[in-house]
Amino acid sequence: MSGQVYTYPRRVPPLYRLARAFRRASVLVLVLLILFTVSVIYSTSELTQSSSHVGSFSVAFGSNGTMILAGSLTLNNPGFYPIQALSLEARVVNETGGFLGTFGYGPVSLGAQATTEFPIELYLPVSATGPGASLLVETQYLNVSVWGNATFGYMFPASVTLQELRHWGAPFDHLAFTVQSPDPNGSIPVMLSFQNEASLTEAGILRISVVAANGITCGTTSWPMNVAPGQQFSQTQPIALSPGCSPVGGTVTGEFVTPAYSVPLPTEAIP
């Protein structure tokens, strides 16, 4: 290093001091922002490696004509910053695109270095008609769309959307009523068959009615049943018809009844 040697003044000029202050402030802000960003990235990487998970779902019939998918989402935030404004929304449609139900949660906050379990309860309406009927009688893949929003490190809003096909085991899969020829004694044998593909045991009373074309109930019967998950069910039951009531052109309707709830089954036409 070479160059001319000059006298060094004692007093720092005001303009130089001012420029130096701005330069130092600029560097200070930059360093603080870099440190903050690095810590947020580190916290986020910790979050992605944490033990957050969606718990297994249980399926149950509800008292209000719904099937309830209940589970939980456990989020573990080992990072330095809270997760704010966390909200989740899910939408379920059946295989043919029929809307079944939606689930919403939040917004909630998850503190730093904390683990929280969020309940997930999705109510799917079941009925003898409409898209909900397919839940009863068709094992299928449901299309589940999930949206999630949250803010990390106070200043990083993030969103996640995903679509997933979830296997659905129908409790009355391939439900079929087979109406046989009327007996001479005025009763008509009706065979009911289905497979329980759901993860719940179907224990209750099965009630079947034969309804004439004009809407008058010709006869009803009921019997207890207890069908374990995965079990095939097939049973023929004679239904005593009211005198003069013709089932031809009518329908067979069914209902699964327990003390807690009743589930209408899809009807089937009698040829």
- Looking at the DSSP bridge assignments, the partners of residue 108 are 86
Show the 3-state SS of 136-184.
HHCCEEEEEEEEEEEEECCCEEEEEEEEEEEEECCCCEEEEEEECCCCC
User: Distance between CA atoms of 137 and 29, rounded to whole angstroms?
Assistant: 63
Q: By CB under 8 A, tell whether 18 contacts other proteins.
A: yes
Give the bridge partners for 202, in sequence order: 227
User: Which position among 42, 99, 156, 223 is part of the footprint of other proteins (CB under 8 A)?
Assistant: 156
Q: Does 45 bind other proteins (CB under 8 A)?
A: no
Token pair of 58 as six digits? 């249980």
Could you give the CA distance from residue 30 to residue 155 in angstroms, rounded to a whole number? 16
Contacting other proteins within 206-235 (CB under 8 A): none
Q: Which is nearer to other proteins, 64 or 159 (CB)?
A: 159
- Which residue do the tokens 């560097």 mark? 27
Nearer to other proteins, 6 or 184 (CB): 6
Which of 155, 176, 191, 260 is in the footprint of other proteins by CB under 8 A?
155
| Total site size for other proteins, rule CB under 8 A | 35
Of the candidate residues 104, 122, 138, 158, the single one contacting other proteins (CB under 8 A): 158
Rg, C-alpha atoms of the chain:
33
Is residue 54 within the footprint of other proteins (CB under 8 A)?
A: no
Q: How near is the Cβ of 252 to other proteins at its closest, in Å?
A: 41
181 is a contact residue toward other proteins (CB under 8 A): no
**Judged by CB under 8 A, which stretch of 30-38, 215-223, 236-244, 258-266 contacts other proteins?**
30-38
29 binds other proteins (CB under 8 A): yes
| Cβ-based nearer residue to other proteins, 44 or 217 | 44
Binds other proteins (CB under 8 A): choice among 63, 161, 180, 226: 161
Checking DSSP bridges between strand 187-195 and strand 202-211, what pairing results, if any? unpaired
Contact 110, 117 (CB under 8 A): no
Return the number of other C-beta atoms located less than 10 Å from residue 164's C-beta: 11
In whole angstroms, the minimum distance from the beta carbon of 141 to other proteins comes to 13
Cβ count within 10 A of residue 241: 20
- Residues in 86-145 at the binding interface with other proteins, rule: CB under 8 A: none
CA distance 226 to 201: 7
Q: Is 191 in the site for other proteins (CB under 8 A)?
A: no
Residues that bind other proteins (CB under 8 A): 1-10, 12-13, 15-16, 18-20, 22-23, 25-26, 29-30, 33, 37, 155-164
